[in-house]
Structures are given as structure tokens and as C-alpha cells.
Amino acid sequence: MSVIFHVEDESSVRLLYREVFEELGFQVIQASDAEEAIKMLKGSKPDVIILDLKMPGMGGRGFLEKFHRMKLKIPLVISSAYPYFRNDPSIPHVDAFVVKSGDLTELVDKVRELVNRVRIL
């Protein structure tokens, strides 16, 4: 079973993503902020990370900086309500960027693509 690690401060979004991805057969681990997520990553190796950028505290940008310093080879998808972040040069490399919407088709497709890529490697 593939494991998704979802970092999101909004509980309603966490609930939605958990329900959708578990129904599709994924195991879902979640953190409600970036600080918690960094601590949790030290003890786990998910197949894909889904990250919100706008969160209180360290936020998604801070998470990305620490994540890249950890040199983990885990595919990362940014899921943000703000499409202008897609081309923001201050955001370190990510594998995919999906604008949040009520239709999770694009996000699900990207996650499946990245999980399949990890299985091939």
C-alpha cells in the first residue's frame, strides 16, 4: 500500500484528502503544520508528500527549505489555493504543483504518477 504524507493546516481539507485517498487504497499520514511534519518525517518514508504552502508558523516554504536540507528523495506535490506560487522562483524544486479545487482529479492523477515513478526506480 502506498503512503501519502499530507501537510495541511485546514482540518476540512485534511479530512477530504484522507477520505478520497483512503478510498483509492492509499495509506494517509497527516500533519497540521510544517513543524510537526518535519518531526514526523524523521521516522517515516512516505511515497509522496502533498504540501500546502500557506500555513501558520514555519509554513510550507520553511518546510521546503528543511526538507531539501534533509536530502530525502521523496516526490513532493504542492497543493495550494494560490496559483501564482506555481512560478515563484523563491520556492525550491517540487515535482508537481496543483491548484486546490473541489475536483481532486488532477491531484489524484499527479499522486498516482509520482507513486508509479517511485515504484519503477
Domain ranges, residue 91 = 3-120
In this prediction the pTM is 0.92
DSSP state of 84: G
The pLDDT value recorded for residue 86 is: 78
The pLDDT value recorded for residue 44 is: 85
The pLDDT value recorded for residue 118 is: 67
The pLDDT value recorded for residue 120 is: 60
Stretch 21-38: mean pLDDT, rounded?
Answer: 97
CATH of the domain at 106: 3.40.50.2300
Query: How does DSSP assign the chain, residue by residue?
Result: --EEEEE-S-HHHHHHHHHHHHHTT-EEEEESSHHHHHHHHTT---SEEEE-S--STTHHHHHHHHHHHHT----EEEEES-GGGGG-TTSPP-SEEEE--S--HHHHHHHHHHHHHHHH-
- How far apart are the C-alpha atoms of 113 and 42, rounded to whole Å? 25
* Structural domains counted in the chain: 1
